[in-house]
Amino acid sequence: MAQAQAAATSVTLTVNGESKTLDVAPWETLLDVLRERLHLTGAKKGCDQGQCGACTVLVDGRRVNSCLQLAVMRDGCEITTIEGLGEPASLHAMQAAFVKHDAFQCGYCTPGQICSAVGMIREGHAETAEEIRELMSGNLCRCGAYTNIVEAIEEVLAERNAPKLEAAE
């Protein structure tokens, strides 16, 4: 082996509520740190260049392509990955809706779709199916589960909006 690793930087990330301090090289992406260092492989690598959305996670509540983020840029941030949204025994509403609507097949784009959908709803711009399709278009699904994904998201949106409507009445 040649010379040792070049200068590493200490970063602290709060990942799924847990504080993690690690030494990372400046070129390590958030995605690779999650997958290879923290073994949180729920965030997927589909292209490594921000074109497919499989690596979508929530950074301080906003959806981002973690393959386009260097870990050092996110020092001090709160990261939520799919593992932090819910577990099989206690699924997040969006995860449960994906199962119910068969909104995936191979499952590889799924964590990114779900994180993206959760982030999109928080953004508050999606109401109609057309808007969901537009705002989810950064998340590719080669299995073609799109119509089911939109139905799953619509259901979660409707549940979220239901109390609001009642309150308005």
Partner 1 sequence: MSNVHPYVGRAQPRVDGPLKVSGLARYSAEFAAEDMVYAAAVPATIAKGRIVRIDASAAEAAPGVIEILTHQNRPDMPEEDKPYKADMVAVPGGPFRPLRDERVVFSGQPVALVIADTHENARDAATLVKVEYESETPTVDVGDARDGAYEPPEKRNGIPPPPPPRGDAAATFKGSSIRLEEEYRVAAEHHNPMELQATTVEWDDGRLVVHNKTQGVNNPKNYLCSVFGLDPASVEVVSPFVGGAFGMSLRPLYDLTLAVMASLKLERSVRLVLTRAQMYTMGWRPDTLQTVALSAGEDGRLTSIRHEVVQATSQYEDYQEPTVNWSGLVYDCPNVTLGHKLAKLDTPTPSDMRAPGATLGLFALETAMDELASKLKLDPLELRLRNYAENDQNDGKPFSSKELKAAYEQGAERFGWSKRSAEPRSMKDGRELVGYGMATGCWEAMMQPHGASAALTADGRLEVACGTADIGTGTYTILSQIAADAFSMPIEEVTALVGDTRLPMAPVEGGSWAAASAGNAVRLACAALKEELVKRARGLDDSPLANASADHVVFRNGRITLVSDEDVSVSYADLLGAAEGGRIEAMAKFAPDKDFKEKFSSFVHSAVFAEVRVDEELGVVWVERIVSAVAAGNILNRATARSQILGGVVMGIGMALHEETVWDRRLGRIVNANLGEYHVPAHADVKNIDVIFVEEKDEANPLGVKGLGEIGIVGAAAAIGNAVFHATGRRIRHLPITIDKLL
Please report, as ranges, the residues that interact with partner 1 according to CB under 8 A: 1-6, 25, 27-28, 32, 35-36, 39-49, 51-52, 54, 81-83, 85-88, 91, 95-96, 98-100, 102, 104-111, 114, 132-134, 136-150
Nearest to 40 by CA among 12, 15, 23: 15
DSSP annotation of 6: P
- Cβ neighbors of 168 (< 8 A, separation 6 or more) are none
| Pairing assessment for the beta strands 9-15 and 62-65 based on DSSP bridges | unpaired
Q: Name the residue nearer to partner 1 (CB basis): 1 or 167.
A: 1
* Residue closer to partner 1 (CB basis): 78 or 140: 140
State the minimum distance, in angstroms, from the CB of residue 24 to partner 1.
Answer: 10
CA–CA distance, 45 with 160 (Å, rounded to integer): 30
Rounded to a whole number of angstroms, the minimum distance from the CB of residue 166 to partner 1 is 29
Residue closer to partner 1 by CB (options 13, 165) is: 13
